[in-house]
Structure 1
Amino acid sequence: MSAESTPEPAITEPGTKGRRSKGRRRKAPSGRHRALVITAWTAGGVLVLGGTGIGYVYFKLNGNIKSVDINQALGTDRPAKADNGSENILVLGSDTRSGSNKKLGGGTDDGSARSDTAMIVHVYEGHKKATVVSMPRDTLIDRPECTDTKGTTHPAARGVMFNESYSTGGAACTVKTVETLTGLRMDHYLEVDFAGFQKLIDELGGVPVTTTKSIKDPQSHLDLKAGTHQLTGRQALGLVRTRHGVGDGSDLGRIQLQQAFVKALVNQVKHIGVFTNPKKLLDLADTATKTVTTDSDLGSVNSLTGFADGLKGISSSHMRMVTMPVQYDPANPNRVIVQQTKAKQVWTALKNDRPVPASAVKGTATGEAKGVVTSS
């Protein structure tokens, strides 16, 4: 099976637990939950304010935005910027386990942050097309030495999970890890928590999707029959967090759900007319700016608006969803490792602003998701 999603990415009916046949992965239940990173994409989309972003509205939104100075932390030892107008954006989902997130996410309550979902969004020259590469959190990697935004240096570590870089050194160490892994310069960074994601979906009026398989997962509070649904924020959060009701219970099956939901959400934002309804637009912008953390280059309404304006021409039909090529770790079926040859094809294609070749995503681990979710 291919790790590349089709125009209708896969989701499945509940999987089984326990031991699996040779070559398949088993995944023990986990208390960790996910946030869907595409809230950050939506945050950009609803910030195209046109002439309304003035006066108190501007200052209100500007005061909402949190930013981190990644450039200062990483210095000059980084991949070069592309000179053709293309961009790479690292979009991250974080779970602080405090406040509203604590009520939604369960797990530990120490207020610490985790990053469980990551996507590299490559926007091609001309800003009419994009490729989104999901980075499985269960991937074992060698993390480079990195310096966080507080100036603390963290030594390199071998054979750690991908999301360990965030828990170790936050945004700066995650960007450093991604740039080392891919050889691509991350031009921007966007981070969102799942409490804000849920509220944003509700303010959008929900997102319509159609499922061909029933999905039930008490751990993510999700119970969907096969058919068409107008997902509330809580249901949408459950859909993008569920792993026990999808495929082999791995992060890879959940990624296919997330990729499908991205397209449904992009369609919803474009079709409900938020750009012609000032009140809806400003309500969404208020929630979105409270939800995201950006790199310092995007840390103002003007900067984020300009950035979003460059993305609004990308429709879901021109967004290609792929997953970083991985295979199950022979030494630990609960983890995956990078398929280096195929992954290099992905990074080389993006570095040259070219489409990812089909050969790069064939024969890789997929999470055994077999159903379909589509925008309605």
Structure 2
Amino acid sequence: MESNPAIEVKPRSLSFYIVLAAAIYAFIKAYWLLSPILLSFVLTMLIALAINPVILRIQVVTRNRRLAAGLFTLGFLGSIVLAGWTMFGPMKESVENLTREIPEYWERIQKPLIRLEQQAILSEEKLQEEVSTEIARDDPETVEPAGEEESDEVSKSSDQGETLRSNITGMFQDLLGNFTAVAFNAGQIFIVLVTVFFGVLFTIMNPRPIFRAIFLLVPKRNHDQAQILLQRITEFAPKWAGTMLLDMASIGLLVFIFMWIIFGFLDALVLGIFAALMGAIPFLGPFLSAIPALLLAFGAGGMTPLWVLLAYVVIQGLQSNFLEPFIMARGMKLHPLAVIFAMLLSVAAFGVLGVLIAAPLIAILSIFHDELYRKRYLPMVTDEDLDDLARKALREKK
């Protein structure tokens, strides 16, 4: 039987592999310059696909996608301006209170350290007097080495008191010194966010050229498979955005309610907004959101730090055991270990903003695995079969 020349696959030439190797090498060498661009593109596509259902609903009324995108953008910017104008006064007063209380908090930390240093100095003077009395009473030749050892111990104890305070002071100075690097990184983050904003705006106005370009890169025989992949990703993006927004809103609302009881409305509002924003960071967000609350608590003194700590423990328990499972059941179903490693890899690859795409990247990779690998190599294997194999590997009983 003769083979059909129309479907024969021609072997790649040596020059093709040379060019491919050179392109891969150039990409690796220039990756640190390209990583912000890649991050901006991924964020732009995820957000644009998440917004797409809303744009389609508005387009039904306006009969024009560009007009629908413009109305959505105006509504989004108007909401931000209105929210900022409403919360500017409370946030300003709360921040001013916090900046006034931070020096007092630092003084409270230094007082016990200064007392420890003074006690070390007094102990040193007392020991020196005792050693001098013993030296005058006994033979100096036999007692001198012991006196030197005791004086060394005294100096060590005083040095420990000074070292403790100097180490803590140095730690805070290092943190302040790192603010320059943080400011530089914040500038880069701002550029990425501005790029993403305008990228999303132009994408939601007309996303078809991007999808046409994707199909141009895929051989015609794989267009059906590529279409299925893009459809699944398009369906996933709104679920991801809705899940993240619900999770952020729930944690922000819980923090606001608990902190309102402890600090009052103004501080609770700021802490709730900060907790909601930190909710976009998997796992680390709740710990980061507790830092301003603890600073305010130490500034207030008394039992306030303990109450704040207990409140955040209760909030985290409610979020992890009740709200988050309910929200995730309606959105993404991802294993926490996969999200943790994805977050570490995303931060290493894209910087601080990489945490925003850690969870969706895992879900998208899962989609690619299902469509490209599992359907080809494991077509008859069900999830129940995989669970059974895992149970047997772990020697678990039914």
The two structures have a TM-score, normalised by structure 1, of: 0.23
User: When you count helix as a share of all residues, which structure comes out higher?
Assistant: 2
Computing the radius of gyration from Cα coordinates, the structure with the larger value is 2
